Amino acid sequence: MKSTVAVIGGSGAYHLLTRQALGKETDCAALDTPFGKSAPLHRFTYKNQSFLFLSRHGETDYSVTAPFVNYRANIYALKESGVERILAWSGPGIINKAFRPGEFAIPHDIIDETRNRESTFFKNRGIGFIRQSHPFCPEIRAGLHEALHRAEIPHHQEAVYVCTEGPRLESPAEIRKFRILGADLVGMTLAPEAFLARELEMCYAPACYLTNFAEGVEPREFEKGRLFEGMQNEEERTEVERAVGRFPEIIVALLEQMKEMDRACACKDAMLRYKKKGAITNDWREWMGDV
């Protein structure tokens, strides 16, 4: 199952799978990797565009929460499948009140506040000291901006995303801290996913649909037994569902944009320094050492 482009779906991805909204499925398989079994990889064709699709949180419901996703197995499986570029989607909360629920954002930077996740393929090895001047691929980000612009979808071209451990939501004091640090959005999924992709020299960038205001940003009464327990009202929920429904359109528009890109970014050469000095070969499967 070879493909050069993959989409990692976030919250709501299983709904699109169930509704067959992503196009015609031609293949599906989970891969065995040195880090365990990956999530199922689906091959879709939509408007003559082919891509792999992986539902990060499960396929029947939100069955795997963010801290327990097997990020290493998923990224390894995509690399094994020939993937060079990854579009990830995520549904973060809002810290910066210039953003609103139901809008889209293209993060340009990240703050990693996770604590207990396996965050590298190179455990116990002397490699992986990789610069993060652009943690998300500039080429995919530019393509996303153009795709959203052409689809007339309003969006924010930049945002700082802080990734927390989860699965609990953040406290008001934590959100105040993240605001001081310069974060605009708060979620639980882009780390270590983005860093693992870079270690295997894959381009990776997220498209975020904004789900709710984070704790303390807007005054909201606690509502028992509801999604986000009152942090998202009915109007906002409708806007968010509408945003998720536009992802097939965004995916195809981005695929069209990427046809014109030649991977002139630095992502594909992240490990070049180690290759030059002979610490690793060109066979990426050997980079992990004894797993």
pLDDT of residue 50: 84
Residue whose structure tokens are 């709710």:
212
Q: Is the pLDDT of residue 63 over 90?
A: no
Structure-block tokens of residue 116: 């207990």
Contact at 8 Å (CB) between 60 and 103?
A: no
At residue 258, does pLDDT exceed 70?
A: yes
The arithmetic mean of pLDDT across residues 54-77, rounded, is 92
Q: What is the mean pLDDT of the chain?
A: 92
Pairing of strands 41-46, 85-90: unpaired
List the beta bridge partners of residue 33.
36
Widest pairwise Cα distance in the chain: 59
Residue 14: predicted pLDDT: 67
The pair of structure tokens assigned to 43 is: 């091959």
Q: What 3-state class would DSSP assign to 46?
A: strand
Residue 257 has pLDDT above 70, yes or no: yes
Tell me the domains of the chain and their CATH numbers.
5-286 (3.40.50.1580)
104 vs 291, higher pLDDT: 104
Answer yes or no: is pLDDT of 44 > 80: yes
Q: Residue 16: what pLDDT?
A: 73
pLDDT at 1: 53
Residues facing 5 on adjacent strands:
85
Helix (H, G, I), strand (E, B) or coil at 272: helix
Where does the pLDDT of residue 29 fall: very low under 50, low under 70, confident under 90, or very high at 90 and above?
very high
